[in-house]
């Protein structure tokens, strides 16, 4: 994974860093997830930044973030099947207590059509959950 990330041209690493920092600022209030492009034609980044958690709840929060990041990586592959590598980055929001990172690398070179179909189902389920949660927010306002 380090080799993949290091292979990004310096200029693109700066662009990625800026995008990550901007999202880390926004994540203080809510979870922020994004798919970020790579300069490489075979790589996509899946980013998940959480709002952090109090020390007593941090282990549970971190486990949730790690699982969510893995699901988002699978969903990213379903959304962009032409990419071979999915690099997942999980972080805490900027300025919150705690500072752990999670990284995921998925090499999909050996994925079958059956696995890709499963990834598409994961993505569809995630989209339906997001729509439902947004509906709840809309009702509450």
Structure pTM?
A: 0.85
Would you state the pLDDT for residue 104?
Answer: 97
What span, in angstroms and rounded, lies between the C-alpha atoms of 48 and 52? 12
What span, in angstroms and rounded, lies between the C-alpha atoms of 86 and 36? 10
Would you state the pLDDT for residue 16?
Answer: 94
What span, in angstroms and rounded, lies between the C-alpha atoms of 122 and 118? 6
Would you state the pLDDT for residue 138?
Answer: 60
All structural domains of the chain with their residue ranges: 2-140
Q: What is the largest CA-CA distance in the chain?
A: 46
Nearest to 82 by CA among 35, 14, 129, 47: 35
Task: Locate 40 and state its tokens.
Answer: 């490489």
Residues with Cβ within 8 Å of residue 118, at least 6 apart in sequence = 74
Would you state the pLDDT for residue 30?
Answer: 87
What span, in angstroms and rounded, lies between the C-alpha atoms of 51 and 92? 6
Q: Which residues of the chain have pLDDT under 70?
A: 132-141
Q: What is the arrangement of strands in the sheet containing 102-107, beginning at the earlier edge strand?
A: 32-37, 43-50, 85-92, 102-107
């Amino acid at each position: 994974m380090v080799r993949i990330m290091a292979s990004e041209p310096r200029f693109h690493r700066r662009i990625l860093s800026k995008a990550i920092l901007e999202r880390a600022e926004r994540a203080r209030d809510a979870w922020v997830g994004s798919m970020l492009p790579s300069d490489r034609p075979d790589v996509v980044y899946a980013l998940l930044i959480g709002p952090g958690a109090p020390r007593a709840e941090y282990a549970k929060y971190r486990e949730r973030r790690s699982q969510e990041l893995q699901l988002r990586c699978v969903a990213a592959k379903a959304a962009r099947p032409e990419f071979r590598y999915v690099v997942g980055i999980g972080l805490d929001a900027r300025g919150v207590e705690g500072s752990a990172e999670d990284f995921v690398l998925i090499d999909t070179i050996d994925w079958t059509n059956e696995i890709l179909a499963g990834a598409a189902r994961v993505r569809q389920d995630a989209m339906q959950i997001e729509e439902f949660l947004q509906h709840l927010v809309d009702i509450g306002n």
